[in-house]
């Protein structure tokens, strides 16, 4: 009898996880319902255009006047004293960031069936925000990989010389996947997404993203223009995902002028209380 009860609880728990996952996916792919989504699309298009033009000009100027001079000032590859920077720069590696966010999503999913009532609603709100951050990074990284393949710009000193205009389009070779920087894309997508949800984190996240970009140049993984391109890719990717969520009233709302604002979310204190309740034996 005890085994039957235990087995019933186990199957019920697994079914609960499946139900939560299905409902989460259904909310994400449902038809947009926000009445102001057209205004948000227009505002988003204007911002994208402005960002694209400014960044294109910046990349062009950097390629012509800055890239070669900058990478010539950097220490040689393999310099022993740069090992702390090599460790730090991995915090912008898309694989690590996405796995960490996937782990957070899994934790949200596993604890959800143990909650009910208000505690469950708090945890759902938190899960929506983690889902937004994860998808922001994932979409931006995917776009970055496609652009790398199409553009085919060489990394610094490929071919033995400092050449900012060494391209091999559609090469599919890591040596020619410099623009945009994948680390910069990841860092700025993560920084934008986290800041969009938790505004108080903006200074820390911006500092993190900028330092990741600087580390890529110092380590001769990218030219300065590569990290600027990566930053743009990350921000645009996160902005698109934010619009997707806002149009479906998930974590965000749309103002009359088309700007997107985060909905009031659970405080860290309430999240801690809910987590403790869910983890209690």
* pLDDT, tens digit, 9 for 90 and up, residues 83-134: 999 999 999 999 999 999 999 999 888 888 888 888 888 888 899 999 999 9
Higher-pLDDT residue of 239, 78? 239
138 in a structural domain: yes
56 in a structural domain: yes
Summarised one tens digit per residue, pLDDT across range 180-235 is 999 999 999 999 999 999 999 999 999 999 999 999 999 999 999 999 999 999 99
- The label of the residue with tokens 């004293």 reads 81
164 in a structural domain: yes
- Tell how far CA 260 is from the center of its chain: 18
Q: 130 lies in which domain range?
A: 31-279
- The label of the residue with tokens 């796995």 reads 99
Residue 66 confidence class, pLDDT cut points 50, 70, 90: very high
15 in a structural domain: no
Summarised one tens digit per residue, pLDDT across range 7-34 is 555 667 677 778 778 888 888 888 888 8
pLDDT confidence of residue 3: 43
Q: Which of 32, 31, 44, 51 is nearest to 257 (CA)?
A: 44
14 in a structural domain: no
262 in a structural domain: yes
Say what the pTM is.
0.91
Domain count, the chain: 1
17 in a structural domain: no
Query: In the chain, what percentage of residues exceed pLDDT 90?
Result: 64
187 in a structural domain: yes
Higher-pLDDT residue of 177, 269? 177
């Amino acid at each position: 009898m005890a085994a039957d009860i235990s087995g019933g609880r186990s199957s019920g728990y697994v079914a609960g996880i499946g139900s939560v996952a299905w409902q989460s996916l259904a909310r994400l792919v449902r038809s947009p319902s926000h009445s102001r989504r057209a205004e948000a699309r227009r505002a988003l298009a204007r911002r994208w255009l402005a960002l694209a033009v400014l960044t294109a000009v910046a990349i062009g100027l950097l390629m012509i006047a800055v890239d070669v001079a900058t990478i010539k000032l950097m220490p040689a590859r393999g310099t022993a004293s740069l090992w702390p920077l090599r460790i730090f720069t991995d915090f912008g590696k898309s694989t690590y960031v996405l796995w960490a966010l996937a782990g957070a999503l899994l934790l949200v999913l596993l604890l959800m069936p143990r909650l009910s009532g208000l505690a469950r609603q708090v945890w759902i709100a938190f899960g929506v925000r983690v889902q937004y951050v994860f998808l922001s990074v994932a979409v931006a990284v995917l776009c970055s990989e496609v652009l790398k393949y199409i553009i085919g710009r060489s990394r610094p000193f490929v071919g033995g010389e400092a050449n900012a205009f060494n391209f091999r389009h559609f090469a599919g070779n890591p040596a020619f996947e410099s623009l945009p920087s994948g680390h910069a894309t990841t860092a700025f997508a993560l920084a934008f997404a986290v800041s969009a949800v938790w505004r108080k984190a903006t200074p820390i996240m911006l500092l993190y993203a900028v330092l990741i970009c600087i580390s890529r140049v110092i380590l001769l993984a990218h030219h300065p223009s590569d990290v600027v391109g990566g930053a743009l890719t990350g921000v645009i990717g996160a902005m698109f995902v934010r619009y997707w969520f806002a149009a479906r009233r998930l974590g965000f709302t749309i103002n009359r002028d088309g700007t997107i604002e985060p909905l009031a979310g659970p405080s860290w204190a309430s999240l801690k209380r809910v987590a403790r309740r869910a983890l209690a034996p």
